[in-house]
Structure 1
């Protein structure tokens, strides 16, 4: 396959899956088994494209929070975003210092997809029994901070799935409100993680050997497809549940377990 087409496909996969609750890391690792492995720098940059798209989508909300931070409701929301981010950052620093490395085999990803899908179905039912609430409590903020680390440690979990459903079960039962908080706290978290990885790759000299043409193609494609995917998702969840995503995860995970060799 031509390299530019390979990069384009990986950009599409990253853009579509980064903020849908189906795990971008899991899909990229699986895709690279057939399309060829890419550098850590490549994966970080195309992820940054997806984050940029969500930043554009929520720019009005972000601007209002920052400019009108003196309003009690804005200040309260900002503080909760900051606390969730700091919890993730502190725990992430500990994980990095411990030298924890993500497993890069498909089998644990497949199990994470299946378990995560079942958990999503159960969580959706439990959240539906609660009173519809849009408020983000301190408990929600704290638990979302922990949920981001769990998703970061176990590929296939999905950061968006972990944070959205944690928020819904912890008290923000309204899907739209839970999704907004999960995505907003993900923006600084993922920018920080991307900046760290870029700095690390720069120190290791990874930028010198990178194919910047392919990387540029993947970045642009990732940004565009993420923008379309997230805009669609935000409209979809206003009147639909996350059930189809959970079923997709379970089907994909079972298929991988059945058709791949053990530990493949």
Structure 2
């Protein structure tokens, strides 16, 4: 396989898995074992491509929030809740960084995180369904939900394999927002400033370390476009899918993938 094709495939993997509840970090760690390790700048670029897809998908909603901030109480309240959630993520994320907690980079911890995340999804799905039945359809995001979703982002970020999207969506569903589309929208909109901030921080670190030079810019650009395009299609599909389906299929996929990893990957990796 050529280096160029490997770069494209990594971009596609990032785009497909970043916002589906199946763990992008886990998949990229796995893929790099066979497709080759990439530079930090490359990983930053494909992540930025996936984030940009979310901006394009929610561009009308984002514009409504900006235009309506001064005149519409609903838009102002929603925007402030996003800000509070982002602040919770930023503060707790800095604490985690200060404590020096590092992401595990071996296959087995990722596989077990996939299993634990799958169990969490199955249990949370049942609890969320019961809450929805008891409380009825609730699309509003409370202040408590906003803070909890912000904290959930950091928890998911510590362990690859847990999936930021699945953790944040289900935290929203379990803390008051019973509508899956509304919970997903808040989780994804919050992901825009959070992931752009993380990407900017990583990019600055790479620049300071002199990691900009020597990059294959053609492969990077194509991977960026591949990540953006596939993320756009994946999220569009997911938003339609969750209107009439549960997340059970994703949980089962995670279990099958984890089982394959635990059985096929040599010990110690």
Normalised by the length of structure 2, the TM-score is 0.96
The equivalent position to 1:145 in structure 2, one of 144, 150, 154, is 150
The equivalent position to 1:223 in structure 2, one of 228, 231, 236, is 228
1:22 aligns with 2:22: yes
The equivalent position to 1:235 in structure 2, one of 205, 221, 240, is 240
Name the residue aligned to 2:209.
204
**Deviation for aligned residue 1:53:** 0.5
Name the residue aligned to 2:159.
154
Name the residue aligned to 1:256.
261
Name the residue aligned to 1:89.
90
**Deviation for aligned residue 1:227:** 0.5
Give the number of equivalent residue pairs: 264
Q: Out of 204-213 and 28-37, give the one that drifted further.
A: 204-213
Name the residue aligned to 2:12.
12
**Deviation for aligned residue 1:97:** 2.2
Name the residue aligned to 2:75.
74
Q: Where in structure 2 are there 5+ consecutive unaligned residues?
A: none
CA distance in 1, matches of 2:46, 2:265: 27
**Deviation for aligned residue 1:258:** 1.7
CA shift digits 1:20-59 (9 cap, x unpaired): 0000000000000111111111111100000001100001
CA distance in 2, matches of 1:80, 1:190: 17
Normalised by the length of structure 1, the TM-score is 0.98
1:173 aligns with 2:174: no
Let me know the Cα RMSD of the aligned residues: 0.9
CA distance in 1, matches of 2:193, 2:231: 17
Which residues of 2 match residues 30-109 of structure 1 at below 5 A?
30-70=30-70, 71-109=72-110
CA distance in 1, matches of 2:104, 2:130: 36
Q: Where in structure 1 are there 5+ consecutive unaligned residues?
A: none
